[in-house]
Amino acid sequence: MAQERLLEISALTKSFGGVHALNSVDLSLASGETLGIIGPNGSGKTTLFNVITGLVRADAGTARWNGEKADLLRLPAWQVFQLGLARTFQNIRLTLGETVLDNVSLGRHLQVCTPWWAVLARPGETWRRDRRGREEALEALRFVAPHLAERPDRLVGELSYADRRRVELARAMAAKPRLLLLDEPTAGMNPRETDEIGDDIRKIAAGGMAILVIEHKMKFVASLASRIAVLNFGRKIAEGSYETVRGDPQVIASYLGRKGDHLNKTSHRKEK
């Protein structure tokens, strides 16, 4: 059964001062699918996200969303979001001085915002939408991290690193997107925390969400994604299942250095 292509990227290219961050990359993603993106540092993974979400302008290439004709790459970030793409960031970008709920509520921004004049002239309506937005944000928080939802008024700055990642995740989920872009969701985490976040992400994927996830940890990505794409120096050098990719000589050479022995070690994946 042909699945509808949710996101179709062709020949995506972006250079910074003569260096190709992305070099004619092709990718596609179906609805409900999880695609992993891996590659060594500097291979262009975060640039890929930045270009897709409209933070950085691509030099060349197109990105088709949901089969429509309009090119995603031409849109500014706020319009890309409106189409249904939400993301997290490699270095956590939260407002540390605000509460957990306030941060997650950012995901409901479009539903909450009223025209400026209405803030003064229609305080009741503004307040009602605000409250509904906060309830929906709380729901998303409960889904991702129930223990955080019990005390939504804590300041984000007081949370642990792993909990902050969960807040970011909840924020992206609160937006009820069709595609979730996760940029190294387990960066800086120990194995136990990594497993926990992995469970959270799998739970989200099980609900039918399409996910694009960037990661370093090959085995972790394998536990999430049925397909993996490997980038190196801005080029896609391999794509396929975990077994296909890890056996690819180019991947071994570039990503893991000449010694690919530890690939053959037993996986530490938690069996569900």
- The residue range among 116-124, 182-190, 213-221, 236-244 that interacts with another protein, by the rule CB under 8 A, is 116-124
98 binds another protein per the rule CB under 8 A: yes
- The residue range among 104-112, 136-144, 228-236, 258-266 that interacts with another protein, by the rule CB under 8 A, is 104-112
**Using the 8-state DSSP alphabet, how is residue 108 labeled?**
G
Residue 184, sorted as left (phi over 0), alpha (psi -120 to 50) or beta, turns out to be left
Strand boundaries in 49-117, DSSP class E: 60-65, 85-87
Give CA–CA dist 200/151, Å, rounded: 19
Going by C-alpha positions, the residue among 29, 15, 3 that lies closest to residue 178 is: 29
65 binds another protein per the rule CB under 8 A: no
Of residues 116 and 261, the one with the C-beta less far from another protein: 116
Q: What share of the chain is helix, strand, coil (3-state, %, to 5)?
A: 45, 25, 30
169 binds another protein per the rule CB under 8 A: no
Ranges within 128-147 binding another protein (CB under 8 A): 130, 133
Of residues 10 and 126, the one with the C-beta less far from another protein: 126
Structure tokens at 44: 């262009």
Upper half-sphere CA count for residue 21 (Cβ side, 13 Å): 17
Interface residue with another protein among 26, 110, 128, 270 (CB under 8 A) is: 110
Give CA–CA dist 160/148, Å, rounded: 11
**In the complex, least distance from residue 266 CB atom to another protein, rounded to whole angstroms:** 39
47 binds another protein per the rule CB under 8 A: no
Of residues 4 and 153, the one with the C-beta less far from another protein: 153
Question: CA of 127: how far to CAs of 119, 151, 199, in Å?
Answer: 9, 22, 35
105 binds another protein per the rule CB under 8 A: yes
162 binds another protein per the rule CB under 8 A: no
Asked if 125 and 113 touch (Cβ cutoff 8 Å), the reply is no
Ranges within 195-224 binding another protein (CB under 8 A): none
Cα torsion through 16, 186, 255, 24, rounded to 10: -40
55 binds another protein per the rule CB under 8 A: yes
Of residues 1 and 116, the one with the C-beta less far from another protein: 116
Q: Which residues bind another protein (CB under 8 A)?
A: 53-55, 76-78, 81-82, 86-87, 89, 93-99, 102, 105-107, 109-110, 112-114, 116, 119-120, 123, 126, 130, 133, 153-155, 157-158, 171, 175
